Amino acid sequence: MSSLDWAAVALFILCWLGYEPVLRVLSRRFGTLNQDMELVRQVWMSVMTRREIRLVDSQLMGHSINSASFFASTNLLLIAAVAGILFGGEAALRGFAAVGAEAVPLPLLEAKLALILVCLVRGLLDFIWSIRQLNYTLAVIGSVPEQDEALDRAALGRAAGDLINPALASFSQGVRAYYFALAAAAWLMGPLWLGAGVIAAFALLIWRQEGSPAARAIRKVRAVLESESGKGPPAP
């Protein structure tokens, strides 16, 4: 590997490992989309405990599980494709290199494919863990007693929120792995492409957390929900 390759890989690792700390700093100073969505989901779970018919909650959870399952299935197919080339022997590697990738020694090509594979595997594991936690949340929703039974519904809502938020945080991490896998795939064209790709992916992810229309809209929703919560909980 050349010095440019090492520098690009170091930048990739720095952006991947540094994304969460940067996001935490931004959350404390300005707020982020993920942080705002945590409050929205917390309110959702609190309202769920006071709802007489929870069909809509189950449907929304089912949609989330289907989305995570779709991404996990797609991830598995991509893993199979990349692993087939990486472990398919010299002929598979040379055939892949002939379709337009940068001309490099086979060990370096294997390293590039391995980096893509690591990103995809990490994403798959995040999606699997997200699905499991969402299923746990479904069980919690199903266990909420009827309205006429004595229960600390506020505490139950907070506990359910503490379960669904990590579940969908894992989903977000799985989606993020796609961005970094695309950046890693840019390395096939050369180290400068890898550096540009990971910077672009990092910047795009931060922008979507801070300045995207969705982030601004959710921030307004959070403000409304917080103002309403200050008036006290609605009557059951």
139-196 tens-digit pLDDT: 888 888 776 666 777 888 889 899 999 999 999 999 999 999 999 999 988 899 999 9
The H-assigned helical ranges of 144-190 are 153-186
| Residue 126 confidence class, pLDDT cut points 50, 70, 90 | very high
Q: Which whole number is the average pLDDT over 117-125? A: 95
* Token output for 75: 């991830």
Residue 88: closest CA among 109, 103, 105, 72: 109
In this prediction, residue 148 carries a pLDDT of 60
Rounded to the nearest angstrom, the gap between the alpha carbon of residue 207 and the centroid of all alpha carbons in its chain is 15
Query: What CA–CA distance (Å, rounded) separates 117 from 130?
Result: 20
For the chain, give the percent of residues with pLDDT over 90: 49
> What pTM value is reported for the model?
0.87
Q: What pLDDT shows up at residue 236?
A: 37
| pLDDT at position 49 over 90 | no
| Interatomic CA distance for residues 109 and 102, integer angstroms | 9
What torsion do the CA atoms of 2, 199, 193, 9 make, to the nearest 10 degrees? 30
Give the chain's mean pLDDT. 87
